A and B are shown apart, each in its own frame.
Chain A
Amino acid sequence: MEKVLLANIDNPKSAEIGVYEASGGYDSLRKSLELAPDDIIETVKKANLRGRGGAGFPTGMKWMFASKDPKFPKYLVCNADEGEPGTFKDRPILEKNPHILIEGMAISGHALKAEFGYIYLRGEYPAAKGILEEAIRQAEAKGYIGDNMMGSGRNFKLAVHQGAGAYICGEETALIESLEGKKGHPRIKPPFPVNVGAWGMPTIVNNVETLSNMPFLMRVGPEAYAAIGSKECPGPKLFCVSGHVNKPGVYELPMGVTLREIIYDHCGGIKNGKTLKAVIPGGISTPVLPPDKIDCPMDFVNMPKHGSMLGSGAVIVMDESVCLVKVCLRALKFFEHESCGKCTPCRDGVSWLRQVLARIEGGEGRPGDIELLSEVAGNITGKTFCPLGDGAASVVLNFIKHFRDEFDMHIARKGCPIK
């Protein structure tokens, strides 16, 4: 497959506007500016583009809701908070191919009649901030964005807003709060951001990768786009693979490629000839899978049928040397650290889970602890304010579901059986 999102990134000057222009950069924007905004939204719907931020929500539909809202101004926000552990797929775009994102945002801004765009960039990507700001300056200087984009009479102003270390700000309403200068507490929904978002105005939040699909999508048209990868959920997709594989990294592959193909065909299999023990397929919040479940097609529609989720496409591969109780504990430490503290089950329940796991991992597990974990996780599930707390509970439930004996053994042997 032709590299779309990661085109040019092997070129050391890939972030420069000239390099981008040389491979047809900003042509799609020029073309799109001649189209009526609603026609672009139709195109996106037809292409069946789904958001790459994790939930896989149909992008065209989200845009339509926002576009129908009569309030102005509207804001377009790019979610570059990339905080899901294991995820590093947006970073190469941000650092090495910023113009594809800028062009994508400009097209989207036009489609949505949004004149202001923000890139909410996680604080942990300091280099990307400079690169993006420079790229924005270049694009503005060339008249691609800013006032009267390419003479179209349309305006689009773009700015980078730097986060400050809070995973929850990846959640779109928490992100909006943070953009407004508040704590990243998720907001009550409804109203949804498409109607009442930043500063009370219709706001569209899309992932970096989602928006970066736009130049290509507009170039090839919806039919050609939809022909890539899986039927239900097409298009190119970035997969970021880490852990015990021979060739970790970011791969641009068609949607629907199987997990097995990713690990063995693209990443060269398990490192040092060891055996595969477990895979987290879509970032730490997604259900862990045992080795016999890796023939699943990686897309938003099919993964749930196979007991997990596509999430952010962050594949964490673990070989036989890994203690899964420890991994589970580390994940829960993460959720405890990142819980915003707003709702009871996540704030107190997740912390409780972590404390019990810490005991088990530390060799002080007690009979009944696993049942306790399951019950506590069950009391969290479905009752949290936002998906973060639910995700934490699901992590525990799925590790227990697939690897219960390892937990049992920790309790029985008062410590880790692997070492």
Chain B
Amino acid sequence: MIKVTINGREVQLDKQVTILEAARRAGIKIPTLCHFEGLEMYGGCRLCLVEVEKMPRLQTSCTLMVTDGMVITTESEQIAAARRGMLEFILTNHPLDCPFCDKAGECELQDLVYLYGGTEGRFTEPKAKHPESNVDPILARNIERCISCTRCVRMCDGVVGASAISMINRGRHTVMEPFSGGKFDCEYCGNCLTVCPVGSILSRLYKETYRPWQVERTVRTVCGHCGVGCSYDLQVRDEAIKRVIPRIGEGLNRGLLCARGRFGYEFVGAKDRLKKPLVRRDGNLVETTWDEALGFIAAKLSEVIKTHGGEAVAGIASVRCTNEDNYVFQKFMRGVVGTNNIDSAARMGFSGAQAYLESLRGQGVSANVIAGLAKSDVIFVAGGDPTMVTPILGLEIRGAAKKGAKIISLDPAPGLEFFNPHKIVPSLFAEGAVLESLLCRAVSARGMTGELPHLEEAIRAAVSAECAGVAAQSGVPDAEIEKASATISGSQSPAFVIGPDIVQRADGNRNLFLLAALSYVTGGRIFLLSGKANEQGAVDMGCLPDTLPGGRPLAIDGFRKRHEDACGMSVPAREGLSLMEMFPAMADGRIKALYVIGENPAFNLPGGNSIKSALEKLDLLVVQDIFLTETAKMADIVLPALSWAEKDGTFTNLERRIQRVRRGVNREGREDWRILCDLAGRMGAAMEYASSEAVMSEIARVSPVHRDLHYSDIEAGAMQWPYHGEPLRGEASTVSLVTASARPTVGSGRFALLVDRPLFQSGTLTRRSKALLKLIPKATVKMNPLDAASLGISGGIVRVSSDAGSVELEAVIDSSVQMGAVKISNHFEGAGVFGLMTKPPVDPVTKAPAFEGCLVAVEPLKGDAKS
């Protein structure tokens, strides 16, 4: 226990902290400028000076640690004079342009000058001039206002690890600049904006259109982009989001955001938002009333059910909708329509992978706290760059690396490049051989505990091969694998971060099995990346063909019975079709009607034209969405829904934390669940809830995992797995492992087609966010410099063709792309990677589509060799 006296008051501290922190705990505020909670100590501005007994000089309270018996004074005439002096110095280099400055009203310098008094203008020399830089599409930089506190750089470098900006030059000429001196060309997380105390870094999204005191409403909610679920505040004026700001230190993101979260909100106010229900008349979609639209659906759906049975209907839930929406959706499909043909885009990798991992190691095996990555000493990354798929989770990995954790990446993960990763890059699609070799070595190094006999039996069967022999198939030198293996075996607490790329394979289940086994043998934790806000929620709400809410298998009668009793509706016993199985069923007429909420299968699913032609065969296609997507354009009925910023509810993130989504913007329209309830009523079933909270109350009754979980619990803090309920633990007795080999190649080109998952784009929503669109304005094809050179390509437009079709795209040379592969993202209309993929097979275990077999040809277009 340390005792110090601050301003005559005794303060007790349990551990050594800075004087600043000690004072804060005693409720005494010391002014600061360069200090910022969470950033590395600096001590440059000299504003926080205090008197410490027995020390001759004033001391900076932000850097000096308390010692027992210290006597501190934080306010005196001497101190005030010193602070006034520092402010006077700062102002010698700072324009007095508060009337024009966007920061006025929330400027720390302005506040301090107000507090300590200005000076009589003793500085009469000319001030340095730096014109404001507006060359960057997102961030404006005003160096005249910069006070050299370096908070932005310490944020970018020390916390985010992007290291895109630095203070250049020295002394009085020190200025913050990105490498280029102009454009930032960075990760655009904008966390520098959060920490800039003055108006030096400004967001061009709201610059000059915004004053802090004009905000009408500040609403705490959760980001709607990826599966991390960062907390932030929506600031609203005139029913439009003015800006998104995080709260310092709060939420699982502790005040950090990524580009999508911070700048990807403009879609909410996009002009092409759907406003009225649309119905197809004479081949065209025309506006109609809710009453008419719902009446139409009720009639048509009832007719299909009557003639073909409920199983002729399928439903696609939404990984962007709330738990409440998804719960009601599956209830509607099961109880009202009478089908288990329910799935969501989580099937693209996440849900099947998770279900499989859970069957091997028990429910909740991937429900690990993201912040726990910081405690890992070894982090194994496979199947994607976490800094792009789930950026804030990526930051946690970088943070761990900075603290000394070793990163092994089974991928060229460019976002981890500067974090000393041990990169193992097997030949294309040969990760499995590396994993098998690692498992084999881990088993001989660590042995097994006997805890999960079914898994151990399977492991023994799988690793009978010679460790080194398998490795040879991967093209990775044995020594490399041995080195990685030694690192993993020597780890106290390894983490395995699994991304989509390693799951979306014909033999994805084998990769998953090996990773599950490796993590089991080494006592590691699993982090399953989730690229969409509520994939986990869609899963947990039972939007799966074989699973009821709370992860209870439909096939076990007891579970189904209990569920029927709890929700008062009957549930068909037969397992439904999974996402990728639905389309063949539509094509051959087994499925006649499809109900889609918040999803865009015509664009977001692989299979080229086969998806569209399957959809064309339907008798009824209903789409609820916020935009007229490619799928909506094909629908018979389109219902306008509300975006996440416009409704209440909850999301469940990839660590299975449940968090509240709150309405920030008021907009006319209905939540997805309300639409479904209305429809149920018209179809003769009573599904009525007063609010989203009431839906959650039912979930808390029906789902054994969510037992007794109410908004009050969630509001009290994010709710972390396992809530109050009971997870299912390793009940499986057999392990389904299908060692199908990689998919045979299709297409005549020489390049394997890979999915690009860039940081700034994730699809339908980001495409309508102007700021993000500026960062990636059009679709590109990325290729390795050597491959490009061999084709004489150095940029410009090229044609990429597969068996499914061809697109013309700008070529981007990128050394992080492996030789023999090209990468295309799935964001731009008419140029999505999935459109090029010939109908992919699915993994027999996870039912996720396999992407590896599609070959494409690339040819430069004449006369446009270089743009």
Contacts and interface: CB of A to CB of B under 8 A. Distances in A.
A379 B47 CA distance: 12
A344 B147 CA distance: 8
B535 interface: no
A172 interface: no
A183 B169 CA distance: 10
B715 to A, nearest CB: 41
A226 interface: no
Nearest to A183: B170
B122 interface: yes
Given A341-B167, A343-B44, A347-B148, A383 B86 contact: yes
A383 B58 CA distance: 7
22 contacts: A338-B171, A341-B148, A341-B170, A342-B44, A343-B44, A344-B47, A344-B89, A345-B89, A347-B89, A347-B172, A348-B92, A348-B172, A349-B89, A351-B92, A352-B123, A359-B125, A379-B82, A379-B88, A379-B89, A382-B56, A384-B46, A385-B46
Interface in B122-145: 122-123, 125
A27 B751 CA distance: 70
Contacts of B56: 382
Which among A341, A344, A355, A372 has the greatest number of chain B C-beta atoms within 10 A? Answer: A344
A337 interface: yes
A343 B44 CA distance: 4
A379 B85 contact: yes
Interface string B157-177: 000000000010111111000
Given A343-B45, A347-B174, 19 more contacts: A336-B171, A341-B148, A341-B170, A341-B171, A341-B173, A343-B43, A344-B90, A344-B147, A344-B148, A345-B46, A345-B86, A348-B92, A352-B89, A355-B125, A356-B125, A359-B125, A379-B86, A383-B57, A383-B86
Contacts of B148: 341-342, 344, 347
B174 A341 contact: yes
A341 B89 CA distance: 13
Interface residues of A, number: 28
A392 to B, nearest CB: 11
A339 B90 contact: no
Interface of B: 41-47, 49, 56-58, 63, 65, 81-82, 85-86, 88-90, 92-93, 122-123, 125, 147-148, 167, 169-174
Nearest to A382: B57
A326 B49 CA distance: 34
Contacts of A132: none
Interface string A345-365: 101110110011001000000
A1 interface: no
A385 B171 CA distance: 13
B172 A336 contact: yes
A2 to B, nearest CB: 40
Interface in A301-332: none
A47 B81 CA distance: 45
B46 A352 contact: no
B63 A344 contact: no
Contacts of B92: 348, 351-352
Given A341-B148, A347-B172, A382 B58 contact: yes
A166 B169 CA distance: 11
Interface in A164-178: 166
Nearest to B84: A379
A68 to B, nearest CB: 19
Given A352-B89, A355-B125, A383-B85, A344 B44 contact: yes
Given A339-B172, A385-B46, A348 B89 contact: yes
A36 interface: no
Contacts of B58: 382-383
Contact of A339 (B45, B63, B171): B171
Interface string A369-410: 000100000010011110000000000000000000000000
B44 A385 contact: yes
A385 B42 CA distance: 10
Given A188-B63, A352-B92, A383 B43 contact: no
Q: Which 10 A-B pairs have the closest CB atoms?
A: A379-B85, A341-B174, A339-B171, A348-B89, A355-B125, A341-B171, A351-B172, A342-B44, A382-B57, A188-B63
Given A336-B171, A385-B43, A385-B46, A344 B125 contact: no
A127 to B, nearest CB: 26
B172 A341 contact: yes
Contacts of B88: 379
Nearest to A379: B85
Interface in A217-251: none
Q: Is the interface of B mostly helix, strand, loop or mixed?
A: loop
Contacts of A298: none
Contacts of A338: 171
Contacts of A337: 171
A29 interface: no
B59 to A, nearest CB: 10
Interface in A155-191: 166, 183, 188, 190
Contacts of A355: 125
The CB with the most chain A CB atoms within 10 A, among B58, B167, B169, B171, is that of B171
Contacts of A166: 170
A5 interface: no
A345 to B, nearest CB: 6
Contacts of B63: 188
A385 B148 CA distance: 14
Nearest to A383: B46
Nearest to A355: B125
A198 interface: no
B46 A372 contact: no
Contacts of A343: 43-46
Given A345-B46, A382-B57, A382-B58, A340 B85 contact: no
A359 B173 CA distance: 20
A385 B57 CA distance: 11
A153 B65 CA distance: 41
Residue among A340, A341, A372, A384 with most chain B CB within 10 A: A341
A383 B123 CA distance: 19
Contacts of B82: 379, 383
Interface in A55-101: none
A110 B44 CA distance: 37
A188 B85 contact: no
Contacts of B85: 345, 349, 379, 383
B93 A348 contact: yes
Nearest to A190: B65
A188 B88 CA distance: 24
A352 B126 CA distance: 10
Contacts of B43: 188, 343, 385
A390 to B, nearest CB: 9
Contacts of A383: 46, 49, 57-58, 82, 85-86
Contacts of A349: 85, 89
A385 B81 CA distance: 18
Contacts of B147: 344
A341 B147 CA distance: 10
A88 B751 CA distance: 65
A109 B92 CA distance: 47
A193 to B, nearest CB: 16
A368 to B, nearest CB: 9
Nearest to B87: A344
A407 to B, nearest CB: 18
A340 B88 CA distance: 19
Nearest to A340: B170
Contacts of B45: 343-344
A281 to B, nearest CB: 24
A384 to B, nearest CB: 7
Nearest to B94: A348
A355 B90 CA distance: 15
A308 B89 CA distance: 28
B125 A352 contact: yes
A347 B171 contact: yes
Contacts of A336: 171-172
